[in-house]
A and B are shown apart, each in its own frame.
Chain A
C-alpha cells in the first residue's frame, strides 16, 4: 500500500518534470520553425531551457505585493495539477479521479491565479490584456464545449480516460465523420487556447506591451512562462486524447514496457504535429481584433459545431 503510493507519487512527479521539459523544448521548436518560415536561422531548439534558467537566475525580483505573488504560485501549481488529470499516452495518473468537466475547470485555476497577479500589478495594460484573455476564453469555449458534449454523448462517458479507452485499437475519433469536422473546429479553438496568431490578442506585444505579462519579470515571469509552456503540452494532449486516441497504439497488457515506449513516442509525435499546425498558422497570420475573434468563434466555428450537434442528435434519437 505505502509502496504503491510512493511509486505513484514518483511516477507523477516524473511525468510533471517530463511535461515541463517537453513544454520548454516545444518553445524552442516553435521559435526555430517560425524562424525557418521567415527564412531566418533561428535560435537553437534548446533556447527554452536557457530562457527559463536565465529568468530564475535574475538577481533582483520586483513584486507588487502578496496578491501579485499568487500568480507565480497558482500558475505553476495549477498547470501541474491539470497535467496530472490528463491521460498521457495511455498512462492515466489521476484521470480516473476526475473527468473532462473537471479538466475544463482545472485549466481555469492557473489562469485565474495569473489573472489575480496581473490585476494586482495595477498596470492598465495588464487589465486590458486580461479583459481580452477572458473574452477569448468565452469565445473559443463555445465551439469546443459543443464538440466535447457531442463526444461525451456519443461515447456515453464524461471521463477522458474512458474516451481514450474507447478509441483503443486505432479506432480514433477522427475517423468518425462528425468528429473529423469536430477536430477541425476544435483545432481552431486550440489556436485561441494556445494564444497563437491570429488569436494572440491578449498578449499583443505591439499594442498593449504583452498585456497581462507587462509587470512580470525575473522569477515571476519565469513561473508564468513555465505555465505557458506546460500549457501548450496540456492543451495539445487534451486535443490528442479527444481526437487521436491519446497516442495509444499498442496494448500495454500485451506488449509490456515496449508498449509504453512506443505509446510515448507516438504521443510525443502527435502533440508535436498538433502544435506545429498551430505554429505554422501563427507564422503567417496577422492579428484579429477581439470582437472579430468573438464573432469568428461564435458565428462560424460555433455554427459548424452546432451542425455536429445536430448530426449526433439525429443519431441519438435513432
Chain B
C-alpha cells in the first residue's frame, strides 16, 4: 500500500475514535454531561473523554478564558500528540461573548492556538455540539482539519501572541513589538 492510502486509512480510523480532554473553564461544561450520558450518548461515535492531554486527540475549550487560564491551556495543548484538534465552545471563545469588555479575558482563541471548529451559542445545545463533532469528523476524513500543522508552521507568531497576552506591563508588550521589528 502507498503512503497516501495509509494516511487515508489512519484518518478514517481516527475520526471514529476521537478521545477528548475537556478544558472546563466556564459554564459551557454544563452542557457536556447530557452529551456524554444516555440522552445524547456521544460514545456511539467512538468519542470518550480522557483524563490527560497525553492520551487525547481533541481539546475542548468550554467557555471563556482568563489570561491565567490561557497559560494552562497552552501547556495542555502542547502536551497533546499530533494530530490534535481544538474545538472552541460557545461565544466566549469566538469574540469574548458576554465578557467582550473584560480586562482579563482573551477575546479570540484562534489568536493563540489554531481552532479547527467553533460552536456558536451561549450556550450551545447538545444537538449543536454533536453536530459540530460530526462536522469535525467529516473534516478529518477529508483532511481539512489541519490546525496542528498550522501551529507548527506559525509557531513563532502564536508564541508571540501568547506572550503578549501573558505580559501585564506595557513596557513588556512594547519589547515584544519592538522585537518583531528587528
Task: List A residues at the B interface (Cβ < 8 Å).
Answer: 31, 35, 38-44, 47, 50-51, 53-54, 57-62, 205-206, 209-210, 213-218, 221
Contact = CB atoms under 8 A, between A and B. Distances in A.
Interface of B: 9-10, 13-14, 16-17, 37-38, 41, 43-46, 50-52, 54-55, 57, 79-83
Lowest 9 CB-CB distances: which A-B pairs, in order? A217-B54, A57-B10, A59-B82, A40-B41, A209-B51, A205-B51, A41-B44, A54-B17, A54-B14
Given A54-B13, A205-B51, 9 more contacts: A35-B41, A43-B46, A53-B17, A54-B17, A58-B82, A60-B81, A62-B54, A210-B50, A210-B55
27 contacts: A38-B37, A39-B38, A40-B41, A40-B44, A41-B44, A42-B41, A43-B43, A50-B13, A50-B16, A50-B46, A51-B46, A53-B13, A53-B17, A54-B57, A59-B83, A62-B81, A205-B50, A209-B51, A210-B50, A210-B52, A214-B51, A214-B52, A215-B52, A215-B54, A216-B54, A216-B55, A218-B81
Given A62-B54, A213-B55, A40 B37 contact: yes
Given A42-B44, A60-B82, A50 B17 contact: yes
A57 B13 contact: yes
Nearest to B44: A41
Nearest to A39: B38
A41 B52 contact: no
Nearest to A210: B51
B17 A51 contact: yes
A42 B45 CA distance: 8
A205 B22 CA distance: 13
A221 to B, nearest CB: 6
Contacts of A60: 81-82
Nearest to A53: B13
Contacts of A59: 81-83
B3 to A, nearest CB: 12
Nearest to B56: A217
Given A43-B46, A53-B13, A221 B41 contact: no
A214 B44 CA distance: 25
B43 A61 contact: no
Contacts of A42: 41, 43-44
A214 B37 contact: no
A59 B13 CA distance: 14
A59 B80 CA distance: 11
Contacts of B17: 47, 50-51, 53-54
Contact of B81 (A31, A50, A61): A61
A58 B53 CA distance: 14
A54 B55 CA distance: 11
B9 to A, nearest CB: 8
A222 to B, nearest CB: 10
A41 B45 CA distance: 10
Given A57-B14, A58-B81, A58-B83, A40 B51 contact: no
A35 B51 contact: no
Contacts of A213: 52, 55
